[in-house]
Amino acid sequence: MRLLQPDPAAALLGLRAMKTVASAVGPMSPVRRALLDAARRVILRVDADIDALAPISPAEFAAGFPDGPLREQFTNGMMVMALSDGVPAREMVAEVEAFAKALGVSAPALADIRLLAERHMTIFKLDFLRRSQIADIMKDQLEQTGPLGLARAVLTLRGVMEDPALAARYRAWKDLPDGTLGRSLIEFYAKNGFSLPGERKGFPEAGLHHDLCHVLGGYGTDPEGEVEVAAFTAGFKQKTPIFIVLFAVLIFSTGVNMRPSAEDFTTVGVLGRPGMAERLFAALERGSHVNQDLSDKWDYWAYAALPLDEARRRLNILPKA
C-alpha cells in the first residue's frame, strides 16, 4: 500500500473533506488538527490555511475528485482521522460513511467503526479481528501446522502451555554471530522481556514477522514504535493492509484494546504527539518499497544467519527517513 499524491486541486478538495470529518461534532481536537496538518504537508503537499478551509459536502467532493485508487486512500485516511483521538462520535462516523458512499468506495472496516461508535464492543471486536491480520496469522498457522498446531500456538500465546522443542529452535539463534538477524531478534526479546515462540505467552510462528519487522525496521516497542511497525507492515502487505494500520491506531490512539493476548495497555491520541503522524507516513512509504510480503508465509529462516544490513538489502528495506 503506497501513498499517492493527488494533483493540487484534488488535494485541496481532499483536505476540505478531511477537515469536514474532523469537525463533524465541533471544533477539531488538537490531535486531529495535528494529523490533518501532517497530511497536508507530507502527502498532499499543498499550501493552505487549515483554519480557513470551508467544509465540503460528499456530493461536491466526489464530483470534483478523480476516479481511481485515490478514492480508497482518502476513505482510509478519513477512518484513521475518525479513530485518532478516542472512540469517535456517531456523527463523525456518519460523515465518513457519507463520503465513502459518494466516492463509491466499499470499506468493510467502516461498518466495524460504526459498531464501535455505537458501543457494540463485543461484536465490533469479533468482526474486526476476523477481517484483520490476526485472522491471517491464525489461518497461516493452521495451514502450516494443522489444527493441533494451531490449538497449541493459541494455548501457548495465552500462557496455558509451552512447546520446549519449538522454543529450543529459536534459542539456538543466540549462538549466531553478533549483528545477524536471528541473534538481533533474540537480543530484542531479551531487552523487552518478550517470550520466544514455544515459550509461555510466545507469539505463533506465523506472526513472528511482526517482531522481525521491529528489528529490520529499527522500530521501538513504545506506542509510537508500534504504530510505525504497523504502518511499515501495511506498506508491503498485499491483503487488506488498512486493517493493520487501524489495529494499531485503535490500541494507541483510540484507546481500545484489540490484542488477542492478555495484555491490555492502551493510549489515546498518540497520533497527535509531535512528529508522530509524519513518522506513520514515513514508515508506510518505507514499507511500500519492500520487495515481498513478509506477512505472507515469508521464510525468515533463510535470513536468520545474515547480517542485518545484508538482510535489509535483500528485502529492499531502505534506511529510516
Is the model's pLDDT at 81 over the cut of 70? yes
d(CA 75, CA 86): 19
Average pLDDT over residues 106-115: 95
Distance, CA of 87 to CA of 205 (rounded, Å):
32
pLDDT at 261: 65
Average pLDDT of the chain to the nearest whole number: 94
Q: Could you tell me the three cell numbers for 50? A: 487549515
pLDDT average, residue stretch 50-67: 95
Question: Region 86-104: what's the mean pLDDT?
Answer: 97
Give the integer Cα–Cα distance in Å for 192 and 64.
49
- The pLDDT assigned to 313 comes to 98
> What are the residues facing 86 on neighbouring strands?
84
| Residue 210 in this model has a pLDDT that exceeds 70 | yes
Instruction: Note the pLDDT of residue 321.
Output: 78
Q: How far apart are CA 18 and CA 35, in angstroms?
A: 10
Domains of the chain: 8-105 (1.10.3680), 133-315 (no CATH)
Q: How far is CA 45 from the centre of its chain?
A: 23
| Amino acid making up residue 311 | A
The type of residue at 24 is A
Q: What angle do CA 173, 177, 180 make, to 5 degrees?
A: 75
Nearest to 182 by CA among 156, 211, 162, 153: 211
Mean pLDDT of all residues in 3-25? 94
d(CA 42, CA 154): 40
Would you say 109 and 131 are in contact if contact means Cβ atoms under 8 Å apart? yes
**Tens digit of each residue's pLDDT (9 = 90 or more) over 142-171:** 998 899 988 988 888 888 889 999 999 999
Q: Is the pLDDT of residue 263 over 80?
A: no
Q: In terms of residues, how long is the chain?
A: 321
